[in-house]
Amino acid sequence: MSLTKRIVLTIIALVGFLTSVKLTMIYWDANFNPYALSSFCSINDLIDCDGVAKTGHSQFWGVPLALWGLFLYFVFLFFTYVDKLKNIEIKGFRIFAYFDVFKNPESYICALGIIAFSISMILAGISIFEIHKLCILCFFTYILNLLIGLIAKPKNQSFVDVFVTSFKDFVEALKVKKYALAFSVLLIVAIGFLSYTEISDVMAPQVKLKKEMDYFSKPSKAGKSVTGNILGDKNAILVLHEYTDYQCPFCFVLNTMTLRAAGELSNIKVVHH
């Protein structure tokens, strides 16, 4: 990799990393800090970074997209200097000799940049056509991803060659026992971590809130016996008498709760009047 290309990629990746840090701060304030002021990029109903951060689309597998961005730009920086890192020696010992597996870092950066930009276009479509709000910092990172992909492309390779080379190197690396073992460990750790974040929603309270709202607003009648004005077991020990008109929002929530109670608990009968 030429010095000029390395410097340009470093600058773009650092700008992307810092932008992702800011996006992480915006996400945190929007979802965890009720006293936070609006961010500088929440200008109106259309250009609203805070509004985008509060939606379920601002996370993937329970992890904020901003954190995914931090990881991506760290990987870009790593591959930009991996050829330097693997040659570092201390008293004749190459401490990063493990990195010899990365034979074509420019191809990897280019492939990741194109993939990241493609995913970015999907996110842009969701932002425009579904959320109806724009996060200008997010769109800025989309441009950075494209620039990284274009600049990193080796002169002697097409974009197709870049992906072919990256895939071949990956397959060849897995044929080496130590690399296959390292990849397996990382994969297991990643699956465990992402499973935890997806199930717990510990980093996505907006998703957890939506699930709770859906639980009480979208009841399922599967497995529940309804006869006339009676819901549940006719011979139940516990009888709940419900007086509602199904019109007010409180009646709707009450009806949903009793519907679930009759379906999830045994020996309960709900009688509507």
14 & 129 share domain: yes
For the record, the structure tokens of 52 come out as 């985008």
**Residue 68: inside a domain, yes or no?**
yes
Q: Of 184, 211, 238, which marks where a domain is finished?
A: 211
Q: What CATH number does residue 36 fall under?
A: 1.20.1440.130
Residue 216's pLDDT is what?
61
pLDDT confidence band for 9 (50 / 70 / 90): very high
Are 192 and 253 in the same domain? no
Number of domains in the chain: 2
Whether residue 145 sits in one domain with residue 12: yes
CA 63/CA 195 separation, integer angstroms: 10
Last residue of a domain, one of 166, 186, 211: 211
Query: What is the pLDDT at residue 96?
Result: 79
Task: Give a yes or no: residue 23 inside a domain.
Answer: yes
Q: Are residues 189 and 266 in the same domain?
A: no
Q: Do 32 and 154 reside in the same domain of the chain?
A: yes
Q: List the structure tokens of 113.
A: 């940049």
Residue 246 is predicted with a pLDDT of 63
269 confidence band (pLDDT: 50, 70, 90) = confident
Q: Per-residue pLDDT averaged across 47-70, rounded?
A: 92
Summarised one tens digit per residue, pLDDT across range 185-236 is 999 999 999 999 999 888 888 888 777 777 666 655 544 555 567 777 777 7
Give the range of the structural domain holding residue 262, as residue numbers without chain letter: 221-272
% of the chain surpassing 90 pLDDT:
56
Please tell me the predicted confidence (pLDDT) of residue 142.
Answer: 96
With beta carbons less than 8 A apart as the criterion, state whether 15 and 144 touch. yes
Whole-angstrom Cα distance, residue 273 to residue 163?
66
Q: Are residues 9 and 111 in the same domain?
A: yes
Confidence of residue 259 (pLDDT cuts 50, 70, 90): confident
Distance CA 232, CA 273 (A): 15
Residues 18 and 52 reside in one and the same domain: yes
User: Are 145 and 17 part of one and the same domain?
Assistant: yes
Mean pLDDT check: name the lowest of 7-11, 141-145, 258-262: 258-262
**Residue 216 maps to a domain:** no
Is residue 8 assigned to a domain? yes
Q: Of 64, 100, 72, 70, which Cα lies nearest the Cα of 85?
A: 100
82-138 per-position pLDDT tens digit: 988 888 878 778 887 888 889 999 999 999 999 999 999 999 999 999 999 999 999
Tell me which of 82-91, 141-150, 180-189 is least confident: 82-91
Whether 205 and 241 map to the same domain: the answer is no
